[in-house]
Amino acid sequence: MTQITLKGNPVNTAGTLPENGSAASDFTLTKTDLSDVSLSDFKGSKLVLNIFPSIDTDICAMSVRKFNSEAASLDNTEILCVSLDLPFAHKRFCGAEGIENVHAVPDLRDRSFGDNYGVRMVDGPLKGLLSRAVVVIDEQGTVTYTQQVPEIGEEPDYEKALDAVKSI
């Protein structure tokens, strides 16, 4: 369990982010066309998991925009934007914002992603949603960088995450 905050108030997650050097947990996420993807679909590519509570909040939307703008400059890298929003909400947002360089992949069907990656909030007003975090995975499926953002209302450290990808 990790303790983070929402507007300064403590919130706990279901666990902790995976350790650097560990094998990334498999997942099944759903794309905006309602097809499913898993970790193995990205084998051979670097992977950034941009995890957040909801696409319909300013900071979450900002993180999707930022990673989208940086994605084109990253070699052999796929960026997955993960939340519990419906695929329709992701599709609406990405269409309206011209987001084309990242994959919007909600945890629609399986719902184990939040527990497997330790990011499901277990208490507080956002209980059940995913916390704000970033996980970088190399081409072999090994976790190389993680950040659990300590305050839900803050952005992730984009520079460190992007540097982690570039150093793989």
Q: Catalytic positions, please? A: 60
| Locus of tokens 């950040």 | 147
Please report, in angstroms and rounded to a whole number, the separation of the first and last CA atoms in the chain: 28
Q: Write out the DSSP string of 117-167.
A: TT-BB-SSTTTTSBPPEEEEE-TTSBEEEEEE-SBTTS---HHHHHHHHHT
What DSSP line would sit under 43-83, residue for residue?
A: TTSEEEEEE-S-TTSHHHHHHHHHHHHHHTTSTTEEEEEE-
Q: What angle do CA 88, 89, 91 make, to 5 degrees?
A: 60
